[in-house]
């Protein structure tokens, strides 16, 4: 892979991570409107939490009226304990059949600060011909475009499904984005984008396919860890060029679970590196130049991608693992910089130019500082990790890093 292409990919990914996850956007409002061929009263009964059709989408298990006009909703999504998440809402500016504003004041899964700035306004107006215009606004304070985009597409889907339900009386769960075929197309899009950066060369196509496959294997490791940890479901979401995301079926329950899931992305792929190294040595011993080059490229992609994910950056897997096993403050800072120094050393041993290694170190350190403290916090503290679990995760981190570091050094020295 040309040096300029590697630098471009790093810069693009760092920029995307910043804008998607941490860029301060301030207060933003998502506002969507749709005309539904149904009377206003029918739609009010579906959208008002106490309406007779309020559970048209199956979001609630139960709705209970509390003193003071509050409503406690048991949602269909599981909390850490496997039970429905409980959410308490207050409704202001209620005009029956026309509008209401929702505020969330309590949540059994997330801390109250998460909902402090959230407001949802629902308005119904006659659109003529027996139809109704449904307008929904969701206002909140955002950091990064990712969650803002999620809110937009989730709201658009909800309104589209509301229109179908009003016409047919049936709710169709799921959507196009969750389908495996859609994720496969997203993976193909990632391949196409990476291939275009190489000028559509044959080698560029091979690199794009290999890197996309490496991303899939990495996320498969996270998914396996979710299932081992007791999640009833897990899925993978491809994000073209940026990579992928594995999503579990419930919130994390313990610090050990967070560390285990984060480590298993690179840990799963680490099992591939030793046999690939043996295959590479065998190909070279047999005099197969093309076979040796192919294996070296494959090892380089697998090892470098997974090693980069273990960088001590707040949002990366390595940062997630360190925060679970190292006390905060000075010990965490020292361990983070020690791990960063180790990364720089691996780059130098692999033969990367010093300016590239130093630039990468500065970029990772800056990104870690920028993204620090931006996680969504749970309502209740996670179960602490015991000394045995802490030691096991630390040993696993060292082993996985050593395997991928050896793969990076061998692969890039092969092409030196």
Could you tell me the pTM of the whole model?
0.81
Using one digit for the tens of pLDDT, what is the confidence trace for 86-127? 999 999 999 999 999 999 999 998 888 899 999 999 999 999
pLDDT at 374 over 60: no
pLDDT value at position 264? 96
pLDDT at 402 over 70: yes
Q: Residues 55-69: what's their mean pLDDT?
A: 87
For every residue of the chain, which 3-state class applies, written as one string?
Answer: CCHHHHHHHHHHHHHHHHHHHCCEEEEEEEEEEEEECCCHHHHHHHHCCCCCCCCCCCCEEEEEECHHHCEEEEEEEECCCCCEEEEEEEEEEEECCCEEEEEEEEECCECHHHHCCCEEEEEEEEEECCEEEEEEEEEEEEECHHHHHHHHHHHHHHHHHHHHHHHHCCCCCCCCCCCHHHHHHHHHHHHHHHHHHCCCCHHHHHHHHHHHHHHHHHHHHHHHHHHHCCCCCCEEEEECCCEEEEECCCCCCEHHHHHHHHHHHHHHHHCCHHHHHHHHHHHHHCCCHHHHHHHHHHHHHHHHHHHHHCCCCCCCHHHHHHHHHCCCCHHHHHHHHHHHHHHHHHHHHHCCCHHHHHHHHHHHHHHHHHHCCCCCCECCCCECCCHHHHHHHHHHHHHHHHHHHHHHHHHHHHHC
Using one digit for the tens of pLDDT, what is the confidence trace for 254-279? 999 999 999 999 999 999 999 999 99
Lowest mean pLDDT among 89-98, 151-160, 218-227, 280-289: 280-289
CATH numeric code, 27-168: 3.30.530.20
Q: Residues 35-52: what's their mean pLDDT?
A: 94
Q: Where are the domains of the chain?
A: 3-22+178-415, 27-168
pLDDT value at position 34? 96
| Residue 269 or 351, more confident | 269
């Amino acid at each position: 892979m040309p040096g300029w292409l590697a630098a471009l990919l790093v810069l693009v990914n760092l920029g995307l991570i910043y804008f998607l996850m941490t860029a301060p956007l301030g207060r933003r409002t998502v506002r969507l409107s749709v005309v539904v061929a149904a009377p206003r009263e029918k739609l009010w009964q579906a959208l008002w939490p106490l309406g007779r059709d309020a559970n048209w989408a199956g979001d609630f298990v139960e709705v209970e009226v509390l003193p003071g006009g509050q409503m406690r909703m048991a949602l269909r999504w599981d909390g850490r304990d496997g039970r429905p998440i409980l959410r308490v809402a207050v409704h202001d500016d209620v005009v029956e059949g026309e509008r209401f504003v929702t505020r969330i004041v309590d949540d059994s899964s997330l801390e109250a600060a998460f909902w402090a700035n959230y407001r949802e306004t629902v308005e119904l107006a006659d659109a003529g011909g027996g139809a109704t215009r449904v307008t929904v606004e969701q206002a909140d304070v955002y950091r990064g475009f990712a969650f803002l985009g999620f809110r937009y597409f989730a709201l658009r889907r909800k309104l589209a499904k509301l229109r179908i339900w009003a016409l047919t009386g049936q709710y169709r769960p799921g959507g196009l984005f969750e389908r495996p075929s859609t994720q496969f197309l997203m993976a193909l899009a990632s391949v196409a984008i990476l291939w275009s950066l190489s000028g559509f060369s044959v080698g560029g196509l091979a690199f794009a396919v290999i890197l996309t496959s490496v991303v899939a294997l990495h996320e498969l490791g996270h998914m396996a860890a979710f299932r081992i940890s007791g999640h009833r479901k897990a899925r993978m979401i491809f994000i073209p060029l940026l990579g992928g995301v594995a999503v579990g079926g419930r919130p994390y329950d313990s610090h050990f679970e967070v560390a285990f899931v984060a480590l298993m992305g690179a840990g799963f792929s680490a099992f591939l590196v030793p046999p690939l190294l043996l295959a590479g040595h065998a190909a070279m011993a047999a005099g197969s130049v093309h076979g040796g080059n192919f294996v070296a490229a494959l090892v380089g992609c697998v090892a470098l991608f997974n090693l980069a994910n273990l960088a001590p950056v707040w949002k990366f897997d390595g940062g997630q693992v360190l925060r679970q096993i190292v006390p905060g403050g000075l010990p965490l800072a020292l361990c983070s910089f020690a791990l960063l120094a180790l990364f720089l050393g691996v780059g130098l041993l692999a033969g990367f130019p010093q300016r590239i290694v130093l630039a990468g170190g500065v970029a990772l350190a800056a990104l870690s500082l920028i993204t620090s403290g931006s996680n969504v916090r749970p309502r209740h503290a996670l179960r602490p990790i015991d000394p045995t679990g802490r030691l096991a995760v630390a040993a696993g981190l060292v082993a996985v890093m050593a395997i991928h570091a050896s793969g990076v050094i061998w692969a890039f020295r092969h092409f030196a």
